[in-house]
Amino acid sequence: MKTVALGLVLLAMACAGSKPATSGSRGKVSAMDAMGLTPPDSPWEQMSVADREFYMIGKVNPIMQELFAGHDAEEYGDFDCVDCHGEEMREIDFKMPAPSMYIVPPEGTPGHRGMLSTFPEAVAFMEEVVTPGMGKLLGIENYTCAGCHPSEAPKKKKPKKAAAKKRKSAKPKG
């Protein structure tokens, strides 16, 4: 319940717009400084869907938005839910890992080595900042890349074969 209240307060603050600080400064308050990398009041697994939604909107998104924009403002300046949950987020009920996210190959494989050599800065940022930060925000120890990224391509569902329709021979009536 505290999470819902926190979400509502943060949502109201976000919608109210910025107010000048008493010192005359008009600087934006850091989400990280304001809320910190702390877990939810209740264990993530025990939170209701509504509590999770408010927590994600009110705390996780602003902090992750700040972290990603701080890493690469040009790439992540408009960071939002889609960046982690994918375009299909509503259709999959925000389930993670999102199938449309970058596939992180298993460690020790040629694919993983290729990822490390192709995206060294991104991998370092994810390993050193995002993954441990998300683990703290969700209160999940040993949070890994697999919390957000699939480790293999999603299995495509085979289309069901239409039952072969028996055709009646077209005989003229007569």
The length of the chain is 174
Contact of 101 with 148, CB cutoff 8 Å:
yes
Which of 33, 35, 29 is closest to 7 using CA atoms?
35
Give residue 11's pLDDT.
45
**What span, in angstroms and rounded, lies between the C-alpha atoms of 85 and 125?**
19
Which of 7, 8, 62 is closest to 36 using CA atoms?
62
Give φ, ψ of 16 to 5 degrees.
-75, -15
Q: Tens digit of pLDDT for each residue in 8-56?
A: 444 444 444 444 444 445 677 888 778 878 899 999 999 999 999 999 9
pTM: 0.68
* 62-67-72 Cα angle (round to 5): 120
Give residue 100's pLDDT.
86
Task: Give every residue of the chain whose pLDDT is below 70, as ranges.
Answer: 1-26, 153-174
Contact of 72 with 121, CB cutoff 8 Å:
no
Q: Residue 99: what residue type? A: P
Q: Which long-range contacts (CB under 8 A, 24 or more apart) does 34-40 make?
A: 35/59, 35/62, 35/63, 37/63, 37/133, 37/136, 37/137, 38/136, 38/137, 39/136, 39/137, 39/138, 39/139, 40/3, 40/137, 40/138, 40/139
Give residue 30's pLDDT.
85
| Run of H or E residues at 85 | helix 81-85
Give residue 25's pLDDT.
55
Give residue 52's pLDDT.
92
Q: Report residue 132 as tokens.
A: 């441990």
**What span, in angstroms and rounded, lies between the C-alpha atoms of 51 and 28?**
26
Give residue 154's pLDDT.
57
